[in-house]
């Protein structure tokens, strides 16, 4: 079950890797079922499954990378505050809200984002069997409805939980499944967003990410949220 707008690039990739490793070790079909949202890092994770199912009202996609960043140099100048940080190099404070972002800073961040975006594209292209050139035209960060995602081959089927269970019973020749839902958090109790995630819940809350962004500074994320910038078509 997936219901998340994503999270950090490393957490997303690690969970994806764990699912892929499980499939290699065990001859058990792995299906992902998206509830409300399966966007960005959550969609990345879904790529580890044999099939991706979505509810009729699910929102999926947002293939892309974002580095949130704010600048307060104008405000600091207005109120008479001066940054006195001492660094070992010009780029050590790259992305700091207390300094102007130079053209060089922007290019370094863009190269970082482009590299991680290429990683995301590769995972989707491989698992959805979509040519990279074709994928780029739809992987611009936007999200899609279930019907749109089916047409674009981003997911496999539209259905409800009971539909997926019935399908698995037929595929595995099992008369009846017992559903078990685990509540243990991913990644040693840190959750998808690290220490800001609610322990015990795999569902990501976008509001919990904002304090983390402010505390950590510019952080590459596989993340989507209309409140923080996003698009839907």
Please give the positions annotated as active site: 40, 92
Q: How many CB atoms lie within 10 A of CB 86?
A: 6
What Cα–Cα distance (Å) separates residue 228 from each residue in 61, 142, 224? Answer: 16, 13, 8
Distance CA 84, CA 75 (A): 16
Query: How many Å apart are CA 204 and CA 187, to the nearest integer?
Result: 14
Cα–Cα separations (whole angstroms), residue 194 to 8, 11, 85: 8, 8, 27
Report how far apart, in Å, the C-alpha atoms of 67 and of each of 113, 164, 190 are: 8, 36, 21
Cβ–Cβ < 8 Å for 148, 142: no
Give the helix, strand, coil percentages of the chain, each rounded to 5.
45, 15, 40
3-class secondary-structure state, position 189:
helix
Q: Which long-range contacts does 101-105 make (Cβ < 8 Å, 24+ apart)?
A: 101/69, 101/71
């Amino acid at each position: 079950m997936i219901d998340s707008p994503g999270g950090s690039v490393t957490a997303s990739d690690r969970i994806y890797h764990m699912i892929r490793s499980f499939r290699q070790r065990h001859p058990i079909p792995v299906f992902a079922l998206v509830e409300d949202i399966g966007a960005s890092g959550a969609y990345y994770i879904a790529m580890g499954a044999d099939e991706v199912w979505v509810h009729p009202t699910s929102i999926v996609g947002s293939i892309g990378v974002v580095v949130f960043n704010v600048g307060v140099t104008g405000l600091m100048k207005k109120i008479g505050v001066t940054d006195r940080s001492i660094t070992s190099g010009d780029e050590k404070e790259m992305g700091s809200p207390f300094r102007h972002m130079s053209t060089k800073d922007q290019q370094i961040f863009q190269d970082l984002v482009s590299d991680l975006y290429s990683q995301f594209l590769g995972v989707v292209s491989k698992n959805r069997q979509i040519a990279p050139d074709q994928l780029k035209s739809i992987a611009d960060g936007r999200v899609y409805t279930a019907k749109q995602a089916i047409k674009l081959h981003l997911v496999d089927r539209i259905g409800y939980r009971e539909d997926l269970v019935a399908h698995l019973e037929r595929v595995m020749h099992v008369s009846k499944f017992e559903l078990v839902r685990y509540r243990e958090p991913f990644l040693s109790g840190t959750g998808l967003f690290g220490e800001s995630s609610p322990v015990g819940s795999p569902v990501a809350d976008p509001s919990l990410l904002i304090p983390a962004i402010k505390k950590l500074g510019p952080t590459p994320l596989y993340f989507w949220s209309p409140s923080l910038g996003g698009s839907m078509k």
